[in-house]
Structure 1
Amino acid sequence: MSFQDWESIFEEKTEDLYGYGDSWSFEFDDTIEPDNPAQNWYQYIRGAFARFTCSKCKRTWPSKRVLVVFDFQLQERAKTGTVKARRFRQNCKRCQGAKMEEPQFELDNIEVLLEKLVGRIRMRCYREDLGENNRGFRPVGISEGPHESAHCEACLRGICRKSE
């Protein structure tokens, strides 16, 4: 899905935060590192279902565990919040020298990711007690095969959360 899909779903999910008088923005940032947020930023890490397509051979494959890292911060004086997201990539196991491909998430799964993120924002930035929300991800054509660590960007960097 495109950046505009992520951004419009994020705007929809953050509408309730306008009651605080704050506006929030969303962007992708491939420099975010898991477990290492910038000073005064919070971090939220999730694994989700996604699909990949090799740009070389056009092969597609599903993955149950695509790591998504969100860094977020509310600047209370400016009444603005910022979310930065990084989606970890995978490459094709059949193509020699294949590039790392961006994950393609179903709209339902983007909604769940951003719903859970906004819940975390509400807890961290606004001190709300939300209880438990157990809405899960919808697997789409996901096989039960093994995780391909040799082709997972997060695994290659030693930060994969495949065992979560």
Structure 2
Amino acid sequence: MISLWNSSLQDQISELHDDTWNIEIDETIEENRPARDWHQYISGSFAQFRCSLCRKGWGSKRVQVLFHFHLDTKINQGTIKVRRFKQKCRRCTQAQWEDPNFPVENIDVLIERLVRNIRKKCYREDLGETNRSSVFNGKINGPHESAHCEACHKGICSQAN
């Protein structure tokens, strides 16, 4: 799973100076708490979920992704930590937080937005404004359900109702 994120990152960041960048999933990072000399970026996208108890699947257009990133210029090494916020099944009373499954196209869009942010923050590049949209294939019924959204529970969901 991280290989899709890393592959997209390497495709899009390869032209950045002589620095090497690595990406890792870190479910412990918190909004507004990046380590010293780290930057933060939050984006949202469409993803699919599947309940590990009843196997019901659902999609959400409002899945938040938190990135913390840092460039160590002494060793030309950049590190990116990613937290993908989870959702719970609304059917199961003992529902667990389930990991999102992003379409490859949406991972590419998320990484593209992140790389633009890295170029602005770490390399001080002025890139102007562009914003590519994520891909949404499917049907979403009903409103966003804050009770089943981890990002809402953490207070960072941009779509909380």
Q: Give the structure-2-normalised TM-score.
A: 0.95
Corresponding residue number in structure 1 for 2:129: 132
Look up the SS of the partner of 1:155 in the other structure: helix
Look up the SS of the partner of 1:30 in the other structure: coil
1:40 aligns with 2:34: no
Structure 1 residue runs of 5 or longer lacking an equivalent are: none
The structural deviation recorded for 1:53 is 0.5
Residue 63 of structure 1 contacts residue 142 of structure 1 at CA under 8 Å; is this kept in 2?
no
The 1-side partners of 2:15 and 2:124 are apart by 14
- Match of residue 68, structure 2, among 58, 66, 71: 71
- Match of residue 157, structure 1, among 145, 154, 158: 154
1:22 aligns with 2:19: yes
Corresponding residue number in structure 1 for 2:138: 141
Structure 2 residue runs of 5 or longer lacking an equivalent are: none
Count of equivalent residues? 160
The 2-side partners of 1:138 and 1:116 are apart by 14
Give the counterpart letter for 1:9 in structure 2.
S
Corresponding residue number in structure 2 for 1:108: 105
Percent identity (aligned): 50
1:94 aligns with 2:95: no
Residue 113 of structure 2 contacts residue 131 of structure 2 at CA under 8 Å; is this kept in 1?
no
The 2-side partners of 1:128 and 1:83 are apart by 19
The structural deviation recorded for 1:13 is 1.1
Corresponding residue number in structure 1 for 2:120: 123
Aligned-residue Cα RMSD (Å) equals 1.1
- Match of residue 81, structure 2, among 84, 87, 98: 84
Give the counterpart letter for 1:161 in structure 2.
S
Q: Which aligned runs of 4 or more in structure 1 are off by greater than 4 angstroms?
A: none
The structural deviation recorded for 1:157 is 2.3
Matches within 5 A, 1:46-61: 46-61=43-58
Look up the SS of the partner of 1:117 in the other structure: helix
The structural deviation recorded for 1:140 is 1.7
The 1-side partners of 2:101 and 2:48 are apart by 5
